Amino acid sequence: MTDPNDATQLRAVAERVVEEHDPRSTPTPDLLTTWYDAGLTWVHFPVGLGGLGVSRGLQPEVDAVLREAGGPADVRSLNGIGFGMAAPTLVEHAQDDDLKREWLRPLAGTHHIWCQLFSEPGAGSDLAGLSTSAVRRGEDWAVTGQKVWTSVGHKARWGLLLARTDPDAPKHLGLTYFVVDMHSPGVEVRPLRQLTGQAEFNEVHLSDVRIPDRHRLGKVGGGWQVARTTLMNERSAIGKSDSRRGAGKIADAVSLWASRPDLHTPILRNRLTRLWLRAEAQRLTAERSRALATTSGPGPEASIGKLVGAELNQAIYEFCMDLLGPEGVLYDDYSPRDTLRPGADRLGPIQRRYLRSRANTIEGGTSEVLRNILGERVLGLPRDLRADAGIPWKEIPRG
């Protein structure tokens, strides 16, 4: 490849890989590991770390090759936190390239699932107020505390952990960021059964868990800056929409509408039309965000997709339930399902999708938090008053 930023040449590289490793017969982890070795997992990452050092705007080209050849329709859903949040954080903040390779290759192959240990019972939206502590013990750190709403924590091998290392500092300045081995002694994961029957969320108890200092990301006390890398990529990953017109969640509503002409009314037709317009506006906004991201990392504009997408998802499935009317309650499936299995139907029937959508405006940053981010960092409005600014964390009242 003489010009790595030539989309045609990049596509040819991807086509050679799928010719030599047929996605329809190659086990998915082996296929995705080969994909990583060829630099096609995150094309904008450095060579040797799953990338080719080219524009991230070329990623859809190689993803399309894998999909068209019979590979997973959405590779990143097989290890969502790993691909969307852990990988960009590791490549930017891990201490050396050997460690980056050690983590990234099995992540890309889905051999190691990743989770995010941020939220706590007393610190969800106010993430910087968390109380899980990390204390230096020689070459290690000893971590004690409790996390909650930890997606796929019960399947994860590695976790992104934010912990307090200096209770005398103001809350944003006393945090340090680590990678924790979820198989370490002292880690206890308790799945939480959800409204849908799934148990993808968990609470995680950490009792004197040892983490080597080598697994610290960023500086001691610099955890909030590293966490911002994770959070901006999280909103970008959650808020992304399908680039194809009429695809994504709106396709569920349109498909249901087409299959049930006996339930049509003028009012419902009007609602579906308005939902289509909102979905199209979100798709075009996402296209603009993707274009901006080709020259830089995700910025606060990624919060637009997460905010709008979450509220639109809920409106779409509310429409579906209203269309079904009394039939919508004829649903008694509370069975869990393995959503990380390649080819799995991750969302299930419309009723399950409706129930799952209720979490969309809470998970990955509440809509209230996102509105604050957009108001302050995009629109330039005055910041919210903060009564705890500059006060040592240990002196801030907590309920």
* Catalytically annotated residues: 234
- How is residue 309 annotated by DSSP? H
Closest CA to 115 of 85, 144, 141: 85
Cβ–Cβ under 8 Å, residues 191 and 199:
yes
| Residue-by-residue DSSP string for 271-307 | HHHHHHHHHHHHHHHHHHHHHHHTTS---TTHHHHHH
Neighbours of 237 (CB within 10 A): 20
Closest CA to 150 of 59, 62, 80: 80
Q: What's the start-to-end Cα distance of the chain, in Å?
A: 59
Extract long-range pairs of 342-345: CB within 8 Å, 24+ residues apart: 342/28, 342/72, 342/78, 343/72
Residue holding tokens 């604050």? 372
- In sequence order, the 6+-apart residues with CB closer than 8 A to the CB of 270 are none
User: How far is CA 375 from each of CA 228, 240, 300, 368, rounded to the nearest angstrom?
Assistant: 17, 20, 10, 11
Cβ–Cβ under 8 Å, residues 90 and 81:
no
Neighbours of 333 (CB within 10 A): 11
**Alpha-carbon Rg for the chain in angstroms:** 22
Q: Where are the alpha helices (DSSP H) in 209-349?
A: 223-239, 249-259, 266-293, 302-324
Burial (CB count within 10 angstroms: exposed 0-12, middle 13-18, buried 19+), residue 227: buried
Beta strands 140-147 and 201-212, pairing class: antiparallel
CA 91 to CA 247: how far, in whole Å? 31
